[in-house]
Chain A
Amino acid sequence: MSSEKTAQNPTSYWKIWGMLLALTIVMLFLDQAPMPQTMFVIIMVSAMLTKASLIAAYFMHLKQEHPFLQATFVVGLVVNASFMFALFIPDAVRIYHMVNG
């Protein structure tokens, strides 16, 4: 069952590899480019999430899986990870301001 579902043309994997490589090169280039910090973080995080999505969708074949499986794992992971960041980061900012006035 799963074997039939994940059978793909190997050429498509090398296209994804090219895209991942291109995104990495763009990130390295931007790392040296002068720009406002907020914009830098937004661009880097967007590129990171795009790369992660490409790996999960195509290399890990999540795109071809049943929507139940996609929803269970992706939503669970994203919601839990978001909670962790949402709980930790504001507290870090609070302590930073407390220590540094």
Chain B
Amino acid sequence: MAEAAATTQDRWGGGVCPFDAGWQKVMMWMFIVTDGLLFGAFLASYGYMRFMSNSWPNQSEVFSIPFIAAMTFVLITSSATMASAVAAANHGDKATVGKYLLMTIVGGALFLGMQAYEWTHFIQEGGRLWANPWGDPMFGAYFFLITGFHGTHVLSGVIILAILWLRWNKGVATSTGVEMGGLYWHFVDLVWVFVFTCFYLL
């Protein structure tokens, strides 16, 4: 007990590394939490509107849920390939890292293409930021806000991973860099789990 207390004191009493993690990882987690709270605020606000509205559209009549499920499958798979890239980087398997990073980038690009298709379909059906033919006008606003903000994160992730892939192939990127790219990409996947459930299924 006393030993544990002493260790804690060592860690926090001017200790160099209380989280047992490098500054990159701590900063990335800080970013993830703050960005996660922003998404949390969007979803809480969306829940507020849903509760308040008496004409909220039935999502399954507006969207093709199997198509959204396919988008989910693509993103979950890209997360698994990213995790495999991180593992390979930690094992020093250079070729495998490049392969898995490329697969992740392709997965992200495919997700973005599917989202562009979904947006196009939604707009062609009459969905706008300020109005839509299905019910409460705020439905369109929240659709564009939440999926658009998430899509922007996916786009940023694809760009980040593409730069990482190029740097890795040149031998400039480190395994820590791959790990940070992975943390960001998994966060994007994590957010989609909430968006998929709250916006499309509930």
Residue ranges of A at the interface with B (Cβ–Cβ < 8 Å)? 1-10, 13-14, 16-17, 20-21, 24, 27-28, 31, 41, 44-45, 47-48, 51-52, 55-56, 58-60, 65-66, 68-69, 72-73, 76-77, 80-81, 84-85, 88-89, 91-93, 95-96, 99-100
Assembly CA distance A14 to B84 (angstroms):
9
Distance of B86 from chain A, by nearest CB (Å): 6
Of B40-48, B128-136, B141-149, the one touching chain A: B40-48
Q: Is the CB of A69 within 8 A of B176?
A: no
Cα–Cα distance between A93 and B89 once the two chains are bound (Å): 50
- Asked if residues B87 and A89 are in contact (CB atoms below 8 Å), the reply is no
B153-161, B162-170, B194-202: which lies at the interface: B194-202
Question: Chain B contacts of A55 at CB under 8 A?
Answer: 79, 186, 189-190, 193
Instruction: Tell me if A91 and B201 are in contact (CB < 8 A).
Output: no
- With A2-B21, A77-B33 already in contact, the answer to whether A88 and B45 are too (CB < 8 A) is yes
| A residues less than 8 Å from B36 (CB atoms) | 77, 81
Q: By DSSP majority rule, is chain B's interface helix, strand, loop, or mixed?
A: helix
Task: Indicate whether A44 sits within 8 Å of B176 (C-beta atoms), given known contacts A60-B187, A73-B29.
Answer: no
Point out the residues of chain B lying under 8 angstroms from A68, CB to CB.
11, 18-20
Q: Are B54 and A21 in contact (CB under 8 A)?
A: no
Q: List 9 A-B contacts (CB under 8 A).
A: A13-B84, A44-B201, A44-B202, A51-B193, A60-B190, A68-B20, A80-B37, A81-B37, A92-B51
Complex-state Cα separation, A80 to B44, whole angstroms = 11
